[in-house]
């Protein structure tokens, strides 16, 4: 599997100087991986769900802790299903930091999906795990 990311930008409504950042993501599956998705009817399975962080607790925190929480708060409310990754998912963001947070969320969803596909490959067989 490959995760293909494409970043874009466009001017906001009426050219008010505001830029909207776009991120398109699509998982390119091997033939075998596509067969697992069909066989196990995975399309609607949710791989990732992120709810916005409550930012009211940021005030009064130390600089580094507050910064980390503020960046986490920039993450979008984002739900990603198997179909989203396979067919493609478009996310619009208000700034580059938010776009980077969305990209990280998509990467996490793809990593989870790859683990699921690895599990699907080992049904009716044996998996040897070395430590």
Q: What are the tens digits of pLDDT across the range 40-57? A: 999 999 988 876 555 555
**Is 77 a member of any domain?**
yes
In a domain, 63, yes or no: yes
Establish if 59 belongs to a structural domain: yes
Tell whether 125 is covered by a domain: no
What averages of pLDDT result for each successive group of 10 residues across the chain (131 residues)? 94 75 94 95 88 56 55 67 93 88 88 91 81 95
Return the pLDDT at 56. Answer: 57
Instruction: Examine residue 129 and state whether it is found in any structural domain, yes or no.
Output: no
Q: Tokens 């980077």 identify what position?
A: 100
Q: What is the pLDDT, as a whole number, of residue 94?
A: 85
Task: Note the pLDDT of residue 29.
Answer: 96
Fill in the DSSP letter of residue 57. Answer: G
pLDDT score for 42: 94
Q: Which domain holds residue 96?
A: 2-120
130 domain-assigned: no
Residue 126 placed within a domain? no
Residue 44 confidence (pLDDT):
94
Please state, in angstroms and rounded to a whole number, the distance separating the CA atoms of residues 46 and 24: 18
What is the total count of domains within the chain? Answer: 1
């Amino acid at each position: 599997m490959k995760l293909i990311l494409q970043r874009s930008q466009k001017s906001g409504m009426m050219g008010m100087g505001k830029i909207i950042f776009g991120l398109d993501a699509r998982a390119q599956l091997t033939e075998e991986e596509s067969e697992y998705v069909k066989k196990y009817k995975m399309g609607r399975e949710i791989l990732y769900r992120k709810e916005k962080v409550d930012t009211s607790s940021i005030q009064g925190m130390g600089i580094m802790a507050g910064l980390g929480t503020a960046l986490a708060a920039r993450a979008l409310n984002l739900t990603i299903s198997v179909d989203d990754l396979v067919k493609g998912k478009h996310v619009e963001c208000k700034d580059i930091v938010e776009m980077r947070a969305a990209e990280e969320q998509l990467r996490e969803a793809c990593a989870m999906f790859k683990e699921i596909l690895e599990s699907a490959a080992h049904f009716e067989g044996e998996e040897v795990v070395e430590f």
